[in-house]
């Protein structure tokens, strides 16, 4: 008895972490997210150890801070999975405006923190937060609501939210942060494409975004240098092309099976920012080509499950939410891999759930929680208990059908009586003659003139003549 009362105290906690009633896709996404975060922690510990040891004398410093951000992210993700998505959608506009205010605050002198020439962070005690990363899940939710209900909204509401989206993108671009601006803009564009907006409007929007990117690259010297180093990194191997060259050398050093966990040489001061933007290079060096293929296979499985959730979504808005979250998680991961391998120009985008960064970790786990929530609302899993049901007393058991009285079993179902129609009375000639006596008399006289009587039409018998 005491044991049962003690276990009953932990029932709310057990129910909070129980996933037996979840859909299959929701459970798959949950375990895939946990696996993704676990692999990211392992890679981060190896990539950040030399830098943290040289800076503060504690090689596990970044690893410990990342665990704190992961716990915060899991709390946010757990809250999202346990509450209806419409409840979060109602508040997404308010959170989007709040994040926009934080982004604008980075432009105020004395508030924004500048790192490597970009003012993208705000101080939060001993930590730094990046509002543009926190904006992403709310941008997806609000964009899905706007484009998913595009036909039912008036022009004023459309222009209002499109203007707010444009202000968000311009504010991020002015930090400057071209890569995050491009990712957020492409995500909104893909959501609008999936919603079925007219192609003419989409093409005009894509052209405007491309023109804005060209203008930004022409005005910012460092962005132009990145494009030049991407085209030919060996033209300036000591300055602009140094980072990409070291990344390519690290990936090539991994060969087929890799150098082994913790044995990367590029992280020993050769490869800059190896625990954030170029963490994939350290992973490729330590785990080799096989490890890279396994990572790409994992991303393919994750995106496949997300697409299944999108196809089973209960509404078009939920489907657009899944598409937006998948683009920001899987698509941004592929962009990070492309930058590290030299397939794309150098950007400042982190690897979701792998790179060091609190804002990116919390935002990515929130989007993973949104995917799980959509999967839960799309289809609830059937719970099959393995316990043997308790036997009922004999007087409470239902009587089998074979013991029912025979008349009850053989009695046919009652059928409603047929409604019989009375035959329609024929119109008599007398009635017609009473109504139209004059016409009747004329018709009868004409008919008598034209046709002979039946006796007249009867054939006459011919008798043979006497010879």
| Mean predicted lDDT score pLDDT of the chain | 83
Q: Rounded to whole angstroms, what are the CA distances from 63 to 42, 43, 47, 207?
A: 9, 10, 10, 42
Mean per-residue pLDDT, 237-254: 91
Q: Is residue 75 part of a domain?
A: yes
Q: Is residue 389 part of a domain?
A: no
Mean per-residue pLDDT, 64-84: 95
Nearest to 279 by CA among 339, 233, 343: 339
Backbone CA torsion sign across 344, 298, 48, 130: positive
Mean per-residue pLDDT, 96-114: 93
Residue 46 has pLDDT above 80, yes or no: yes
Q: In this predicted model, which residue has the larger pLDDT, 290 or 422?
A: 290
Q: Is residue 399 part of a domain?
A: no
DSSP 260: -
- Rg (alpha carbons) of the chain, rounded to whole number: 39
Give the pLDDT band of residue 433 (cuts 50, 70, 90): very low
Domain of 91, in residue numbers:
53-378
Q: pTM here?
A: 0.78
Nearest to 184 by CA among 164, 160, 158, 214: 164
Cβ atoms of 333 and 32 closer than 8 Å:
no
Q: Cα–Cα distance between 436 and 161 in angstroms, integer? A: 80
Q: Across the beta sheet with 118-124, what order do the strands follow?
A: 113-115, 118-124, 127-129
Beta-bridge partner residues of 154: none
- 126-130, 259-263, 323-327, 412-416: lowest mean pLDDT where? 412-416
> What single string gives the DSSP state of each residue in 56-122?
HS-TTHHHHHHHHHHHHHHHHHHHHHTS-HHHHHHHHHHHHHHHHHHHHHTTSTTTSEEETTEEEEE
Phi and psi at residue 235, in whole multiples of 5°?
-70, -30
In this prediction, residue 221 carries a pLDDT of 84
| Total tally of structural domains belonging to the chain | 1
In this prediction, residue 237 carries a pLDDT of 86
DSSP 349: -
Give the pLDDT band of residue 466 (cuts 50, 70, 90): very low
Mean per-residue pLDDT, 332-338: 96
Phi and psi at residue 353, in whole multiples of 5°?
65, 10
Q: Is residue 89 part of a domain?
A: yes
**pLDDT tens digit string along 137-191?**
999 999 999 999 999 999 999 999 999 999 999 999 998 899 999 999 999 999 9
* 226-235 contacts at long range (C-beta below 8 A, 24 or more positions apart): 226/345, 226/346, 226/347, 227/345, 229/346, 230/342, 230/344, 230/345, 230/346, 233/342
Helix-strand-coil split of the chain, %, nearest 5: 65, 5, 30
Which token pair is 167? 């202000």
Q: Is residue 94 part of a domain?
A: yes
In this prediction, residue 381 carries a pLDDT of 36
Q: Rounded to whole angstroms, what are the CA distances from 445 to 94, 442, 453, 455, 460?
A: 97, 5, 12, 17, 26
Share of the chain above pLDDT 70, in %: 77
Q: Is residue 202 part of a domain?
A: yes
Q: Is residue 141 part of a domain?
A: yes
Cβ atoms of 131 and 78 closer than 8 Å:
no
Give the pLDDT band of residue 419 (cuts 50, 70, 90): low
In this prediction, residue 401 carries a pLDDT of 47
Q: Cα–Cα distance between 5 and 14 in angstroms, integer? A: 14
Q: Cα–Cα distance between 66 and 115 in angstroms, integer? A: 19
Cβ atoms of 29 and 374 closer than 8 Å:
no
Cβ atoms of 129 and 111 closer than 8 Å:
no
Q: Is residue 429 part of a domain?
A: no
Q: Cα–Cα distance between 183 and 352 in angstroms, integer? A: 13
Q: Phi-psi bin for 119: left (phi > 0), alpha (psi -120 to 50), beta?
A: beta
Residue 403 has pLDDT above 50, yes or no: no
């Amino acid at each position: 008895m005491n044991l049962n009362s003690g276990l009953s105290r932990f029932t709310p906690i057990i129910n909070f972490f129980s996933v037996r009633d979840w859909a299959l896709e929701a459970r798959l996404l949950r375990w895939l997210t946990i696996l993704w975060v676990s692999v990211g922690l392992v890679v981060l510990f190896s990539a950040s150890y030399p830098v943290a040891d040289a800076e503060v004398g504690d090689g596990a410093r970044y690893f410990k801070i990342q665990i704190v951000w992961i716990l915060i992210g899991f709390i946010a993700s757990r809250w999202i999975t346990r509450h209806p998505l419409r409840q979060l959608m109602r508040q997404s506009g308010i959170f989007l405006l709040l994040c926009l205010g934080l982004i604008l605050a980075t432009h105020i002198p004395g508030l924004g923190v500048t790192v490597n020439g970009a003012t993208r962070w705000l101080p939060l005690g001993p930590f730094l937060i990046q509002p543009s990363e926190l904006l992403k899940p709310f941008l997806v939710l609000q964009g899905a609501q706007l484009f998913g209900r595009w036909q039912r909204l008036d022009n004023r509401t459309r222009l209002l939210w499109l203007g707010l989206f444009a202000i968000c993108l311009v504010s991020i671009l002015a930090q400057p942060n071209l890569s995050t601006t491009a990712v957020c803009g492409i995500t909104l564009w893909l959501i609008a494409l999936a919603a079925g907006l007219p192609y003419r409007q989409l093409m005009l929007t894509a052209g405007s975004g491309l023109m804005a990117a060209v203008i930004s690259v022409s005005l910012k010297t460092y962005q132009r240098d990145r494009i030049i180093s991407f085209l030919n990194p060996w033209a300036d191997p000591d300055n602009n092309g140094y980072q990409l060259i070291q990344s390519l050398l690290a990936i090539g050093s991994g060969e087929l099976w890799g150098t082994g966990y913790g044995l990367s040489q590029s992280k020993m001061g050769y490869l800059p920012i190896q625990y954030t933007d170029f963490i994939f290079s350290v992973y490729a060096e330590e785990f080799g080509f096989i490890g890279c293929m396994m990572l790409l296979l994992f991303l393919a499985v994750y995106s496949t499950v997300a697409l299944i959730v999108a196809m089973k979504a209960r509404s078009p808005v939920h489907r657009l939410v899944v598409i937006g979250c998948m683009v920001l998680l899987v698509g941004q991961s592929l962009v990070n891999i492309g930058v590290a391998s030299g397939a794309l120009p150098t950007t400042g985008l982190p690897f979701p759930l792998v790179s060091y960064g609190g804002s990116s970790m919390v935002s990515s786990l929130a989007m993973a929680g949104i995917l799980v929530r959509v999967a839960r609302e799309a289809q609830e899993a059937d719970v099959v208990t393995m316990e043997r049901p308790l036997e009922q007393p004999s007087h409470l058991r239902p009587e089998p059908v074979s013991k029912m009285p025979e008349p009850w079993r053989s009695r046919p179902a009652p059928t409603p009586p047929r409604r019989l129609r009375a035959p329609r009375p024929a119109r008599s000639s007398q009635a017609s003659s009473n109504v139209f006596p004059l016409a009747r008399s004329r018709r009868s006289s004409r008919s008598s003139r034209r046709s002979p009587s039946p006796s007249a039409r009867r054939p006459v018998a011919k008798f043979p003549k006497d010879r």
